[in-house]
């Protein structure tokens, strides 16, 4: 199905799951704002790919954990398109494998700032634009959680798991807050997905190592997560709100 002319912001859209959401979203007719943190080349190349396939996209750099950056990201979309129909809170980070007694306050604060505060700030700005309470036309928000929220991340990253637990609670609470304002809010909770996030946390072979713990005995692809996200954004999911859906190969 397509959503011609609708606008979509994907945070952390330059690489990995976010990039797959941008590509598939653009192919379905969304105009896509590709937010990213640092990797200009990846975001630029993605926008070029989308445009050469006939889609519409632009790249907008900014740290979702910084309020001035978040305001600037949304203002860039206001200037360019003057409307927002969908937000995917996808930007997220992990950190080095560590126990709680090895974690610095700075590490924990960075994790919470990007994974939680970033998602809440972006949702705030999206609600201001999409809610019928504020004169908007409604819309949809999808948050990227993780099955770590229910498994706990013990011995690896309980801080990351806790940040995704907060995302689940936020998804449920926000969905009820804006349910009569034309906005649906859902979350997709991936299992182990083959992206560069594992190498960024110092575990480049994590996908291979975790395979045996997945009932389907394989990692998922970014595209398999993107399809679930785009279903939640679409009118096919018109009665779904406050849902947290595992897409995890059965784990």
What residues are labeled active site? 160
Let me know how many helices (H) and strands (E) the chain has, helices first. Answer: 10, 7
- Residue 114 engages ligand NAP in binding (rule: CB under 6 A): yes
Nearest to 24 by CA among 88, 115, 89, 118: 88
- Residue 39 engages ligand NAP in binding (rule: CB under 6 A): yes
Instruction: Give the number of other Cβ atoms within 10 Å of residue 70's Cβ.
Output: 22
| β-bridge partners, 19 | none
> What three-state secondary structure class fits 160?
helix
- Residue 65 engages ligand NAP in binding (rule: CB under 6 A): yes
Nearer to ligand NAP, 83 or 251 (CB): 251
In the bound complex, what is the minimum distance in angstroms from residue 153's beta carbon to ligand NAP? Answer: 11
Instruction: State which of residues 6, 15, 129, 184 lies at the interface with ligand NAP (CB under 6 A).
Output: 15
Nearer to ligand NAP, 92 or 165 (CB): 92
Label the pairing between strands 139-144 and 244-247: unpaired
Nearer to ligand NAP, 44 or 128 (CB): 44
- Residue 93 engages ligand NAP in binding (rule: CB under 6 A): yes
Instruction: State which of residues 33, 91, 121, 149 lies at the interface with ligand NAP (CB under 6 A).
Output: 91
Half-sphere exposure (Cβ direction) of 77: Cα atoms closer than 13 Å: 31
Applying CB under 6 A, which part among 74-82, 128-136, 176-184, 188-196 lies near ligand NAP? 188-196
| β-bridge partners, 8 | 32, 86
Q: Which tokens hold the place of 202? A: 């110092």
> What three-state secondary structure class fits 26?
helix
Instruction: State which of residues 2, 5, 38, 179 lies at the interface with ligand NAP (CB under 6 A).
Output: 38
| β-bridge partners, 34 | 10, 59
- Residue 146 engages ligand NAP in binding (rule: CB under 6 A): yes
Instruction: State which of residues 196, 209, 218, 236 lies at the interface with ligand NAP (CB under 6 A).
Output: 196
- Residue 64 engages ligand NAP in binding (rule: CB under 6 A): yes
- Residue 17 engages ligand NAP in binding (rule: CB under 6 A): yes
Chain mean position to CA 47: 18
Contact of 64 with 41, CB cutoff 8 Å:
no
Nearer to ligand NAP, 37 or 244 (CB): 37
Query: Helices (DSSP H) in 53-192: which residue ranges?
Result: 67-81, 105-112, 118-130, 148-151, 158-177
Contact of 230 with 140, CB cutoff 8 Å:
no
- Residue 136 engages ligand NAP in binding (rule: CB under 6 A): no
Applying CB under 6 A, which part among 80-88, 97-105, 130-138, 193-201 lies near ligand NAP? 193-201
Binding site for ligand NAP (CB under 6 A): 11-12, 14-18, 35-39, 42, 63-65, 90-93, 114, 118, 144, 146, 190, 192-193, 195-197, 200
């Amino acid at each position: 199905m397509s959503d011609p002319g609708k606008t979509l912001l994907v945070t952390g859209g330059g690489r990995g799951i976010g990039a797959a959401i941008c590509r598939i979203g653009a192919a379905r007719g969304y105009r896509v704002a590709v937010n990213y943190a640092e990797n200009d080349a990846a975001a630029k190349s993605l926008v070029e790919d989308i445009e050469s396939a006939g889609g519409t996209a632009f790249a907008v750099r900014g740290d979702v954990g910084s309020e001035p950056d978040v305001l600037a990201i949304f203002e860039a979309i206001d200037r360019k398109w003057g409307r927002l129909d969908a937000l995917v809170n996808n930007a997220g980070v992990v950190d080095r494998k560590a126990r709680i007694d090895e974690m610095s306050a700075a590490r924990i604060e960075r994790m919470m700032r990007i994974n939680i505060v970033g998602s809440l700030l972006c949702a705030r700005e999206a609600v201001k634009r999409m809610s019928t309470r504020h004169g908007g036309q409604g819309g949809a928000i999808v948050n990227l959680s993780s099955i770590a929220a229910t498994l706990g991340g013990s011995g690896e990253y309980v801080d990351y798991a806790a940040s995704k637990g907060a995302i689940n609670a936020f998804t449920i609470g926000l969905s009820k807050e804006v349910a009569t304002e034309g906005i649906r809010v859902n979350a997709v909770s991936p299992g182990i997905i083959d992206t560069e996030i594992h190498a960024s946390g110092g575990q480049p072979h994590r996908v291979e190592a975790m395979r045996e713990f997945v009932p389907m005995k394989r990692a998922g692809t970014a595209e398999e997560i993107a399809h679930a996200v785009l279903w939640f954004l679409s009118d096919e999911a018109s009665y779904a709100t406050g849902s947290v859906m595992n897409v995890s190969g059965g784990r």
